[in-house]
Amino acid sequence: MNRKHNFGAGPGILPESALQKAAADILNFNNSGMGVLEISHRSKDFEAVLQKAKSLVKELLKVPDTHEVLFVQGGASTQFAMVPMNLLKKKAAYIDEGAWSNKAIKEAKLFGEVSVLASSKDKNYSYMPKGYTIPTDCDYFHITSNETIHGTQVKEFPASPIPVVCDMSSDIFSRPVDVSKFDLIYAGAQKNMGPSGVTMVIIKKDIVGTHGKTLPTMLDYKTHLENDSLYNTPPVFGILVIMYTLEWLKSIGGVEGMQKINQQKFDLFYGEVDSNPMFVGTAAKEDRSPMNACFLLNDSSLDEEFLAMTKAAGIIGIKGHRSVGGFRASMYNALPLDSVKALVQVMKEFANVKA
């Protein structure tokens, strides 16, 4: 099979080896004569998958013993509500960095007061707000590490006097992070980990169950912590693919090795954007994300022609989000460097044809 150069923003490209193993397991898991989707989630075979996936997360991100890894459902969007439901007593502090943080803010307001410390809305979220002060009178501080739609990334997390909650949906496992600095990290799987339908939460155990409220059972982190993500039927297939994706990640040098490869892809791509007179990047240089690169043709009347040329080269998924326009090249972990080379080649050719 000829795999495409898949620059899609999400669900995104996954490692081929992980897909192959998962595909085989759907038909016959551990030579049991049954597929992985047909066995009990409480069976020994699946229990081993869950524990392996969890231990790989802990190993790769060096998760300290104070924290636990949970697999839940409902996407990162459910976390937008679950976080304030569990942690917001009176007031929470948020940064308004783009479309996703906006949605998180909207949900938090359903459960209490929200103080928006800084916003980059004035420039269509093309940069990351910086230099704000995190107040001590809030229950937690929420930040989005990578704004998928606008192509910006937090390079340095601010020191915080209060618990920190981070949406890492679109750059989890792309670089090392100091998990001990976060009380809660959440990420929908479908950008860098696995299929949609499973959401990973890394939570500091001592903040679980401190809300003093009666919450719906499934929306209380306590339920998932106490039952080791097996209160109800977990997203079995998603957890399986996460396990294989993380095995692949480990084999290429973990998050440290991955960061180096992501940096190569970033340098190659932005090197072209910055030197090719036809194109311009939309994100502020210092905040550019290695995961999602947003760029425009200086002459947008050529957009369709450029898209057609990329398509002919086997490149898909680069049409920009409607709120930014132009193009977005998502370069998630599993996207090979060769795919970025292919895109850069087309950009060069396009400039030659039009010059």
Ligand X SMILES: *Cc1c(COP(=O)(O)O)cnc(C)c1O
Site string for ligand X, 276-295 (x = CB under 6 A): --------------------
Is residue 192 within 8 Å of residue 172, measured between CB atoms? yes
CA distance 38 to 288: 43
Q: Does 144 bind ligand X (CB under 6 A)?
A: yes
Q: What is the DSSP letter of 218?
A: G
Residues between 24 and 83 that touch ligand X (CB under 6 A): 75-77
Cβ-based nearer residue to ligand X, 10 or 15: 10
Q: How far is the CB of 189 from ligand X (least distance, A)?
A: 8
Report how far residue 71's alpha carbon sits from residue 301's, in angstroms, rounded to the nearest whole number. 45
Size of the site for ligand X (CB under 6 A): 12
- Catalytic, out of 100, 171, 183, 248: 100
Which among 114, 97, 207, 93 is positioned nearest to 160, based on CA atoms?
Answer: 93
Closest distance of CB 271 from ligand X, Å: 25
Nearer to ligand X, 172 or 342 (CB): 172
> Which one, of 146, 154, 155, lies nearest residue 99 by Cα?
146
Instruction: Single out the catalytic residue among 54, 191, 204, 265.
Output: 191
Task: Choose among 163, 203, 172: nearest CA to 68.
Answer: 203
Question: Is the separation of the CB atoms in 242 and 198 below 8 Å?
Answer: yes
String marking each residue 182-221 x if it binds ligand X according to CB under 6 A: ------x--x------------------------------
- Asked if residue 153 binds ligand X (CB under 6 A), the reply is no
Task: List the structure tokens of 337.
Answer: 């460097």
Burial class (CB in 10 A: 0-12, 13-18, 19+), 150: buried
Report residue 259: phi and psi, to 5°. Answer: -60, -40
Which residue from 152, 160, 169, 339 is in contact with ligand X, where contact means CB under 6 A? 169
- Least separation in angstroms between CB 312 and ligand X: 29
Is 109 tagged catalytic?
no
8 Å CB contact between 324 and 150: yes
| Binder among 167, 183, 220, 272 for ligand X (CB under 6 A) | 167
Which of 109, 348 has the CB closer to ligand X? 109
Pick the catalytic residue: 167, 183, 220, 287? Answer: 167
Nearer to ligand X, 11 or 336 (CB): 11
Q: Does the annotation count 248 as an active-site position? A: no
What residues are paired with 185 via a beta bridge? 166, 202
320 near ligand X, rule: CB under 6 A: no
Q: How many CB atoms lie under 10 A from the CB of residue 161?
A: 12
The secondary structure of residue 161, as a DSSP letter, is: S
Quick one: three-class SS letters along 18-85? HHHHHHHHHHCCCCCCCCHHHCCCCCHHHHHHHHHHHHHHHHHCCCCCCEEEEEECCHHHHHHHHHHH
Single out the residue of 6, 102, 126, 148 in contact with ligand X (rule: CB under 6 A): 148
Measured from the CB atom, is 218 or 309 closer to ligand X? Answer: 218
The reply to whether 204 belongs to the active site is no
Query: Which one of the spans 47-55, 165-173, 216-224, 281-289 is the region binding ligand X (CB under 6 A)?
Result: 165-173
Q: Which is nearer to ligand X, 169 or 310 (CB)?
A: 169
Q: Is 10 in the site for ligand X (CB under 6 A)?
A: yes
Residues with catalytic roles? 100, 167, 191
Per CB under 6 A, residues contacting ligand X are 10, 75-77, 100, 144, 148, 167, 169-170, 188, 191
